[in-house]
Each structure stands twice: as C-alpha cells, then as structure tokens.
Amino acid sequence: MTVISSNNDNGIPYYTGTAAQLYDLRKDYLQARWAQESLSDEEKAFLTAQEEDITTPFIYRYCGSYKSILATFTILSVMVSFLTAVCIPPVSAEEHSRKTDQIILCTRFGRRPAFLAKLFTAVIFSVAAALLLFISFAVPSFVIYGTEGFSAQIQFHILDCTWKLTAGQSVLILLGISIAAAIMLGCASLYLTEHFRSSIPAMGVLIGFLLISSFLNIPGQFRVLSQIWSYCPAKLISVAGGLIDHRLVPFFGTYLASYQVGLFIYLVLAFLFAFGGYFVWRRWQAGGR
C-alpha cells in the first residue's frame, strides 16, 4: 500500500502522493459515501456521470467570502424559522383574539381580500427576514474577505460535492432554497393560526417542529424516512444537506438532487398551506363562534 501523506516537523499532515493518487482517493471516498447512503446502482451511475463532467485537475481560486457565507446558512434557516413562528401568528390571530372575526367576514372585503392581505404580509415578512439575514451575513464576509471567487470550483473546498458548481452558484442555490422555505413557513404560520384561531398553538407547533428537526436525525438505514426528513429546512438549508447529500429522487427518466427536490417541495407546500388557510378562514363565518 502506497503512503501518500505524512507529517512535517510541526506534526501537520501534508500530501506527498501524485495527482492521480489524490483523485483516486476522492473517488474511493465518494464510493464509500454512496454505499453508506444506501444508493442504488442507478443512482451511483448517475452520480458517476456527473463526476465525469467536473473539470479536473481542480484549480484553486480564493473564495474566502463565499466559504464564510456557506457556513452561515444553517444559522439563517433556524433564525428565519424562529422569526416566522414568533412574529406572524400574533398578527394573524388578532381578529380572533379581539372577537372581531365575524364582523370582518361580513364586510365586503372581509373574505378573499382580507385573507390575501394577511397572506401577502406573512410572505413578505418571511422573505424579507431571510434576505435581511442573508445580507447581514454576506456584507461582513465581503468586507473582510473580498468579493473574488464567485467562479471558483466548489470541489476544491467541498471535496465530496458531485455537482458541477462554483462557489457563487452554491451560495445562490442555498439562498434560493432559503427564500422558498421562508415562503412555505410564512404560509404555514398563517394556516396554523387560522386553524387554531389562536397564536399560541401555532407558535408552539412551529417552534416545536424547529427544535425536533434540528436535533433529531433518522439513520440512513431507513432510506425513505431519512430522505424525507432531510428536506426539513433545518436540515436542507446547509452545505451538508443541500450540496453533499447524494440521495436522489427519480423524475421522468432522470434524477433530481436534494436541493432541486427541496425547492419544489417548499413551493408546493406553500401553495397548499395558503389554500388551506383560505379555506379555513372562508368557512369560519358559517361555523360561528
């Protein structure tokens, strides 16, 4: 067996092998990861084809700011989830707490226009929260580390990423998922508020889901459950969940990556929550108090 790494006088490991040995090591590591994630032969073949599209040898380009921003997305997802859970339900439930919901529903604009206004407010708040948090993370990173490196090859910094992406594209992908998740969380907050007609249960459900999804991990041996659970915002909006999760979803003869599936799921759930909230709000007058 060829030894391709060693330690210098300071005890710091460094690479001493050839370029071919280095890429073989990466290939073996990816194969082990794919086996650990219980990928099918078809998924492995698809990922192998994606690997062939990646430019080699990997070319180093400085991208310190983008690496720093990528590391903050986990915090961003938690903060957006918390803000939507705390801020949206109290405002949305105000007419229920003040016992004015029946009066509002009897007015000319008390049904669809009133609900659309509430929905617009919830979505705008959640998206604005995500964007402002992203800006608060991105601006200091650009000031400290500079703006260069948008087109840097991501594999040089995230070795087990099998997608042909740059550092800047990786940031934009996670930002897009964050915005979609914010829309979904805003609609979910509104639906839960209308369902319970109170802000406290809605806040409890959202914060409880945030805590559970942040700390609970389903073992990879349970492939279906583990993969579904990985689409929770606290899991997906991160480098580990969005960029280096190799589990795929079949889609009309091809496969979709986790970040593609997650984006679609969030938008579909946002529509369902919005429609469900409107249905509950519209029928509330018939049920009375």
CB atoms within 10 A of CB 162: 22
Query: Does the residue 8 lie in any domain?
Result: no
Mean pLDDT, contiguous 10-residue spans, the chain (289 residues) = 50 66 85 88 92 84 92 94 91 64 56 82 94 96 93 87 92 96 94 85 93 90 90 92 90 92 96 90 58
The number of domains in the chain is 1
Percent of the chain with pLDDT over 90: 51
What region, left, alpha or beta, does residue 2 occupy, with left being phi > 0 and alpha being psi -120 to 50 degrees? beta
pLDDT of residue 188: 95
CA distance 54 to 158: 13
Quickly count helices (H) and strands (E) in the chain. Answer: 13, 4
Rg (CA), the chain: 23
Tell me which amino acid residue 78 is. V
Structural domain span for residue 174: 18-287
pLDDT at 116: 87
Question: Is residue 9 a part of any domain in this protein?
Answer: no
Question: What would you measure as the largest C-alpha separation in the chain, in angstroms?
Answer: 81
Closest CA to 77 of 120, 121, 129: 129
CA distance 159 to 157: 6
